[in-house]
Amino acid sequence: MLGPTRIRRRYRWLVALVVLIPTVVAGPWLVLGIATMGDVYGPGETPRSADAAIVLGTLVNADGSLSPRLEQRVEAGAELFCGGVVDTLIMSGTDSSTTGQNETTVMRDYAITLGVPASAIVLDPLGVDTFTSCQRADEVYHAQSVIVVSQQYHVARATWLCQRAGLETQGYYPAPSPTWWTLRGIAREVGASWKALADVLGGRGE
């Protein structure tokens, strides 16, 4: 029979594991959030002026319309342009898995309805992931300072990756939405943050 002391010792180990394991798993996500905290802005806040905003693509609906998340990103990018914070929007994305249509053309068309002239929009149809979007903004489109636009759960990683690509980078996110997609996005970011660190530490793109 176990004595009270051994039971308490086992309980302490159990509590320690319950706390430690999630902390280790989410470690990179927390680190990237802290590292970029002073460079990320949200609704009601105004970032410093920059050469361009990189609006990151995401799901296009099967009927060719923007998903709510993509709509929010384009609206946030248009807000930066119309507010005079940036002169150019780089719409960065790839072919939609639901329609085969490139995300960037749908993003451009919506931005035009929001008052952004076509001449101020640059399409990057080869932005297959966040790392590539950052790298191409630097190497292909020759931006020096950017504001990367995405949801709050994603923007810290996106900002950090663009900074590692050599860009002077700030992040900007639209108002958070308490939806299933937000919870899914937060969970996904835990793994994606590990990949971001591995990409940079492994010298991807050098």
The three-state DSSP-derived secondary structure of 59-72 is: CECCCCCECHHHHH
Q: Could you state, in order of their start, the residue ranges of all structural domains in the chain?
A: 4-201
pLDDT of residue 104: 95
First-residue to last-residue Cα distance in the chain: 61
Structural element, H or E, at residue 171: strand 168-172
Instruction: Tell me the C-alpha distance between 161 and 54, whole Å.
Output: 12
> Tell me, what's the pLDDT at 187?
63
> What pLDDT score does 7 carry?
46
pLDDT along the chain (206 residues), means of 10: 50 46 51 83 96 95 90 97 98 76 92 98 94 94 96 91 93 84 65 65 57
Helical ranges in 85-179 per DSSP H:
103-113, 130-139, 152-164
Strands (E), 4-144: 40-41, 50-56, 86-92, 121-124
pLDDT value at residue 22? 44
Contact 86, 120 (CB under 8 A): no
What residues are paired with 56 via a beta bridge? 92
Joined together, the tokens standing for residue 160 give 């950090």
Q: Which CATH number fits domain 4-201: 3.40.50.620, 3.30.365.10, 3.40.50.970, 3.90.1150.10?
A: 3.40.50.620
Phi/psi for 117 (5° steps) reads -70, 145
